[in-house]
Amino acid sequence: MANKAIVFAGQGAQAVGMGRDLAAAFPECAALFSRADEILGYPLSLICFEGPEAELTQSNNCQPGIFVASLACYTALLRQRPGLAFVGAAGLSLGEWTALHMAGAVSFEDALKALEARGRFMQEACAATAGGMVSVMGLAPDKVQGVADAAGVEVANLNSHEQIVLSGPRAAIADADKLAREAGAKKTVILNVAGAFHSRLMQPAADRLAAVLDGIPFQAPRLPVVSNVTGTPHRDPVQMRQDLVRQVTQPVRWVSCVEWLGAQGITGYVECGPGRVLSGLIKRIHTGAHLANVQDVGSLEKAAAALKNGEWEA
């Protein structure tokens, strides 16, 4: 029997239609979207199910939207495989909030409201600054750091040993792109994003989020949830609150998160939420790990079959 971890999608994975077929198939999933609409006071479900894409892509919509869609995936999986247990959890950026809710550390309502505010604050910080991001592939981490230092940008995401994302002022990102290619990067891609996420340009958003989180109660999670900021599990609720604020401006240490889980004997990962980005990254970090994903009814059936009777079947 495989020791399993569950991981939750982050911003950028959103897609118009996410969660729609699960909500149609499972009353519990439909109830999640209905409850979210009621809590937020606007039709988040309609934006997730029908778009338009430009509206869904706005951070204040896609962050709570991915949260609810990911929980719908998780809820449907448990419906198909009652008693399914995980021994660790993680999520990419906003996905960490989904993991913390799943682990009982924060309520659905509080997480949803916090993510709507988080997304709105980040969107407004993007509008106030000319920021950007570039993905660098096939360049050693020390050389990527050298590029960042030379260009005046920051490491934003350590996605895998082969992929690191830099973040900072838009003009400096163009310099970093050029320097990375000159340093021998196999590939660079300037990302189509609203601003410089996970950098100091997001400090105004972090400051505003801190005020929101001061009013939210947190509990110790009932299973290990690995922090993007530290690469180790959350334990103390006070520190958890601080790290969730720091997460807005600090690098996402996804490699460290997966390596910690692997060191605990995790041999399989189930990704819940739109897309399969995390599965692709985990495959590069944890060679030989079993992988499954749930993003719609079709993938749910495949994952449920792979996890039949609580056992991992290739």
Please write the tens of the pLDDT for every residue from 259-305: 999 999 999 999 999 999 999 999 999 999 999 999 999 999 999 99
Q: Both 302 and 207 in a single domain?
A: yes
Q: Both 39 and 172 in a single domain?
A: no
Residue 307's pLDDT is what? 87
Is beta strand 88-91 parallel, antiparallel or unpaired with respect to 131-137?
Answer: unpaired
Q: Both 167 and 76 in a single domain?
A: no
Query: Are the beta carbons of 139 and 183 closer than 8 angstroms?
Result: yes
For residue 249, what are the contacts with CB-CB under 8 A and spacing of at least 6?
A: 198, 199, 200, 202, 203, 206
Q: With pLDDT > 90 as the criterion, what percentage of the chain qualifies?
A: 94
Q: Each residue of 202-249: pLDDT tens digit?
A: 999 999 999 999 999 999 999 999 999 999 999 899 999 999 999 999
**Strand partners for 89:** 6, 225
- Give pTM, 2 decimals: 0.95
Q: Both 154 and 73 in a single domain?
A: no
Token code pair at residue 295: 């993003």
289 DSSP 8-state letter: -
CA-CA distance, 264 to 42, in Å (whole number)?
Answer: 42
Q: Both 221 and 236 in a single domain?
A: yes
Q: Both 102 and 211 in a single domain?
A: yes
Q: Both 39 and 137 in a single domain?
A: no
Name the catalytic one among 93, 167, 199, 256. Answer: 93
Q: Both 18 and 166 in a single domain?
A: no
Q: What strands, in cross-sheet order, belong to the sheet with 268-272?
A: 88-91, 4-8, 268-272, 290-294
Q: Both 230 and 94 in a single domain?
A: yes
Task: For residue 195, tell me if it sits in a domain.
Answer: no
Task: For residue 139, tell me if it sits in a domain.
Answer: yes
Q: Give the sign of the dihedral formed by CA 284, CA 221, CA 67, CA 238.
A: negative
Instruction: Kindly report the backbone phi and psi dihedral angles of residue 19, in degrees, each rounded to the nearest multiple of 5, phi listed first.
Output: 85, -10
Q: Is 198 tagged catalytic?
A: yes
Q: Is 93 tagged catalytic?
A: yes
Q: Both 259 and 204 in a single domain?
A: yes
CA-CA distance, 272 to 297, in Å (whole number)?
Answer: 12
Q: Each residue of 107-124: pLDDT tens digit?
A: 999 999 999 999 999 999
Distances (CA, A) of 125 to 33, 130, 168, 267, 291: 28, 9, 12, 39, 36
Name the catalytic one among 101, 198, 234, 286. Answer: 198
The chain-wide mean pLDDT, for the chain, equals 95
Average pLDDT of span 75-86: 94
For residue 165, give the CATH number of its domain: 3.30.70.250
8 DSSP 8-state letter: E
Q: Both 107 and 145 in a single domain?
A: no
CA-CA distance, 35 to 33, in Å (whole number)?
Answer: 5
pLDDT band at 309 (very low <50, low <70, confident <90, very high): low
